[in-house]
Amino acid sequence: MLNRIGEQPAVGKLIAQYDQLPRRDQQALTVLAIAVLLGILYFAIWTPAVSFHDDAISERERSAELLAWLEANRDSLQRLSGVSSGQGNAAVNTPEDGRALMSLVTRSAGEAGLSLQRFEPSGDNAIRVWLEGAPFTEVASWLEQLNTGHGVQIDQASMDRQNAPGMVSVRLTLTI
């Protein structure tokens, strides 16, 4: 491999120029080349590897601390979220059927400042909803309120961003 590199005309010229230099200049050039090579190895390989290693260790420590905190506060977190260890999401005001769900969805959307473009029943306990040009944050908080306050689940969801920042078109299937 070195022979093939040495056969290149440009490399041959460099070797010839190197051979014509005085002995001290050759030694200085060799030391400089070694220093540059060591610098490249240090800054291109060693420093990024050490940085990655340090970041991984700190991330592992943060994750272990978070896990320990979550395990220590499991009971209070479950109590706050309304989920007991053996039950699902036990909502207080869960609609009984599709009509009650439709009424709840239309009423709560109006209260949240959202205008439903279209809605229709989907089976006995589900409703399909379309919103156009709605603020994402309002849609997200409305869906969270439906879930936590009434036990309404999102069966299917599709969101497309609009040209205006923060605005989305949403198609949902909500179930009891």
Contact 131, 124 (CB under 8 A): no
CB 92 within 8 A of CB 149: yes
pTM of the shown model: 0.47
Asked if residue 124 lies in contact with residue 97, where contact means CB atoms within 8 angstroms, the answer is: yes
Domain boundaries, the chain: 9-65, 98-175
Say what the pLDDT of residue 101 is: 82
54, amino acid identity: D
Rounded Cα–Cα distance for residues 105 and 97 (Å): 12
- Considering only CA atoms, give the Rg of the chain: 33
Strands (E), the chain: 116-121, 126-135, 153-161, 167-175
Token pair 């849609």 in the structure block, residue: 139
Looking at residue 113, what is its pLDDT? 86
Is the model's pLDDT at 88 over the cut of 70? no
* pLDDT, mean of residues 28-47: 96
Q: DSSP character for 96?
A: S
Q: What digits encode the pLDDT tens for the residues 125-160?
A: 888 999 888 888 888 888 888 888 888 888 888 888
Task: Pick one of 3.30.1360.100, 3.30.930.10, 1.10.287.110, 3.30.9.100 as the CATH number of 98-175.
Answer: 3.30.1360.100
Dihedral sign, Cα of residue 45, residue 25, residue 22, residue 8? positive
